[in-house]
Structure formats: C-alpha cells, structure tokens
Amino acid sequence: MATYLKRAFKYRFHPTDAQAAELLRTFGCVRKVYNLALAARTQAWTRQERVNYNQTSAMLTAWKKTEELAYLNEVSSVPLQQALRHLQVAFTNFFGKRAKYPRFKSRKKSRKSAEYTSSGFRFRDGKLTLAKMREPLDIVWSRPLPAGVSPSTVTVSQDPAGRWFISMLCDDPSVQPLPATDTAVGIDVGLTHLLTLSTGEKVTNPRHERRDRAALAMAQRRLAKKARGDGANRAKARRKVAKIHARIADRRRDTLHKLTTRLVRENQTLVIEDLTVRSMVRNRSLARAVSDAAWADLRSMLEYKAQWYGREVIAVDRWFPSSKLCSACGTLRERMPLHVRTWTCDCGTTHDRDVNAAKNLLAAGLAVTACGAGVRPQRSTPGGQSATKQETPRREP
C-alpha cells in the first residue's frame, strides 16, 4: 500500500449559536485539563518524580468524578485526551533540549483550539460532524480535499478576530517529487526588494503592514481608551484590531505561498542566507520592516515545500560576506555601507549590491553541495595573492 504525505487542509466555517457555545466550552475544558496536568507534573518534578501521559490520563478520569470538575464530562473526551498528549510532546521536547519548559495556557492570550481524532468526528459525503453535536459544520469549501481520502485528525480553532477554522489532516497523493532539473538559484532577501535572485530578478516588497498602518493605528488608539477589564466595548475594540492584523497576515501569507511555490517548482537547488531574524528585530529602526517582510516564514515555506517536491535548500553561514565579495574575481572589500547599492570592483565589474550577493550565495551553496567546501570562496589578500579560508557551514538539518 502506497504511503502518501500527510497534509493539513484549512477551511473557514460558520457555526450555529449552539455549536459555537459547545466549541467555546470545549476550548475552556481543554485549557483547564492542560493546566491541571502541567501543575501536577511540575509538582512531581519538584519531588524529583516523573509523571507520564498514562498517569495524567488516570488523573483526568479522577478529576471528572469530582464535584468541582464534573463539567469536564459535558464535552467530548477526545480533545481532553489530546491535550494530555500535546503536553507529553511538550515535555519530550523540553527533555530533548529542543524547547523551553511548558507554560500554562492563558484564557486571553492562548490559542483557542481543540483537536479531534477519528473517534471524535464523523466525515461522510463531504459533511463533518463533531462529537457532542447533532448537525454538521457549515464549512466553506474553498478547495476540494484529495479524491477518495478522509481526514485522520481534525483541529477546530478560533482566531483573535473571531473567525472559525477547521484544519483536516489527510493523505495527499498529489504531493510527489517533481522531475529533477539542473537549475539552481541564489536568494538574497531584503527590505526594498523582498527577494533578489542570482538571475537578476527582483521581487518588490509588498509592505503589507504599511497599507493598513493608519487604520491599525486608529483602531489601537481607540482600544487604548477603553476601560480595562472584560467589558463589551473593550472586547469589540480588541476584535477590530485583531481583524486588521488578520487581514495583513492573510495577504502576507498568500504572497509568500505563491512566491515560494514558484521558486521550488522552477529550481532544483535553492541557496539562502542563514539570517538571525530574532536578533534583527531588536533593532528598533528596522523591527517593523523586518517583521513585515517575514523572512523566517519565507525560509520555513521553502524548506518544507522543497522536502515535498524533492528539492534542496542550502543555508549559507550568516557571516559569509556575500555583499562585499566580487562575484567575478573574488576580491573582498573591507567596507560596504548599506547606502551603497552599486559598486565597481578593481577588476572593472560593476555590481548591483543585491544581485551580486545572490550570485555569491549561489556559488557558496553549490560549493558546499559539490565537494563539501566551506562557505567562503577564495578572497584576495592585500599582497595580491589569493587565500582560502575554509569554514564548516552551519546548515539546517
């Protein structure tokens, strides 16, 4: 039997008042169970004891029998068990030094979601019905599911803007490796141009946040004037701010998906720079622009789509002097201020700063692929002789 890639298909849906009330109650119970289990495991940890998933599952059964937590019986048990499994994964990542210690879920700040496995929903004739519900969900089918497949897991969520989403995890037979090609491209990211390719192509930065900046500022000022607390007016103002943020994020995500899909389909090898976006956003002058460009999301999309379609993404060391290095002769300039967009090398070649950087990234990435060389090509020394400094590239797994 063929094994296909698991892929999530996300859709909007519009619940009835009864369904919305049931789902909100489920979200609260999921958060409560997660926090109770986390507290129990934390207390055990202070006593140098370990509590696993099976023990928290037994605790859940005991909690349901108490008068104080009897309301946990009113919702489906499947999302509650999944919350315990998610906590187990969080602790596994913590002990594996891949994540920080799990944190408690907040009613106001945590994501509202509940996960249902196959025993917690029914999917027939294109209609999805969740446990504890009589009517199927009114889903907006913006695209069809793969033919002949059924979801193995369903996740229901509500974003801060009040929109409801359903995410279905399915086998997708359509995701297959593309025919191999000999094309490769270097990708230099920026702010004026979102991407500059080694072919010379430049993709303009849409600056999605700037288009709604005035409306966002107005909504935020109105929110700041509302009285603190859980009042209806403050909730309404908070919802307006969230809707603007959601509109910006949707446009940004759509642009990145279209761009990364095209790059992955057209090129066998994609070479990018290993930027530390988390450190760059600490610069107060560039934080807003860097966040709006979403370089981390761009890289993430390139990597998982390349894995889907049999392509390769190479990350070149962030200290590689791609802008200061002449792609024609290999001469390294000592300084290259940001305001310098074009420059002429001693060899007579005139470079566009971003295109030259993309070409150098491509050359460094191909060197890594071909022979395992370092990411720094030959550079010219003051005496005119070439010197090579080999470094082990820090590539993502």
- Domain of residue 255 covers 177-205+251-397
User: Is there a domain that residue 216 lies in?
Assistant: no
Distances (CA, A) of 198 to 42, 271, 342: 51, 10, 15
Q: Is 138 in the same domain as 193?
A: no
Per the residue annotation, which of 22, 188, 303, 317 is the catalytic one?
188
User: Is there a domain that residue 132 lies in?
Assistant: yes
Six-digit token string for 122: 């029914």
Q: Is 137 in the same domain as 255?
A: no
Q: How far apart are CA 283 and CA 177, in angstroms?
A: 40
Which pLDDT tens digit goes with each residue over 249-287? 999 999 999 999 999 999 999 999 988 888 888 888 889
Per the residue annotation, which of 22, 115, 292, 354 is the catalytic one?
354
Q: Is 167 in the same domain as 191?
A: no
Q: Is 160 in the same domain as 297?
A: no
Six-digit token string for 382: 């003051």
Given 122, 157, 172, which residue is the final one in a domain?
172
Which pLDDT tens digit goes with each residue over 319-374? 888 888 888 888 888 888 888 888 788 788 888 888 988 999 998 888 877 665 44
**pLDDT, averaged across the chain:** 88
User: Is there a domain that residue 296 lies in?
Assistant: yes
Q: Is 265 in the same domain as 137?
A: no
Q: How far apart are CA 364 and CA 283, in angstroms?
A: 28
Q: Is 150 in the same domain as 259?
A: no
Given 114, 148, 172, which residue is the final one in a domain?
172
The verdict on whether 274 is a catalytic residue reads no
User: Is there a domain that residue 220 lies in?
Assistant: no
Q: Is 123 in the same domain as 181?
A: no
Place of tokens 């701010």: 241
Per the residue annotation, which of 115, 273, 292, 303 is the catalytic one?
273
The verdict on whether 188 is a catalytic residue reads yes
Given 147, 172, 197, which residue is the final one in a domain?
172
Six-digit token string for 179: 């025919």
User: Is there a domain that residue 67 lies in?
Assistant: yes
Measured at the CA of 291, the angle between CA 286 and CA 297, to 5 degrees, comes to 140
- Confidence band, pLDDT 50/70/90 cuts, at residue 205: very high
Residue 385 has pLDDT above 80, yes or no: no
Q: Is 123 in the same domain as 43?
A: yes
Nearest of 296, 305, 351 to residue 326 by alpha carbon: 351
Distances (CA, A) of 1 to 4, 10, 310, 364: 10, 26, 21, 41
The verdict on whether 273 is a catalytic residue reads yes
**Phi then psi dihedrals of residue 251, to 5 deg:** -65, -40
User: Is there a domain that residue 217 lies in?
Assistant: no
Q: Is 161 in the same domain as 262?
A: no
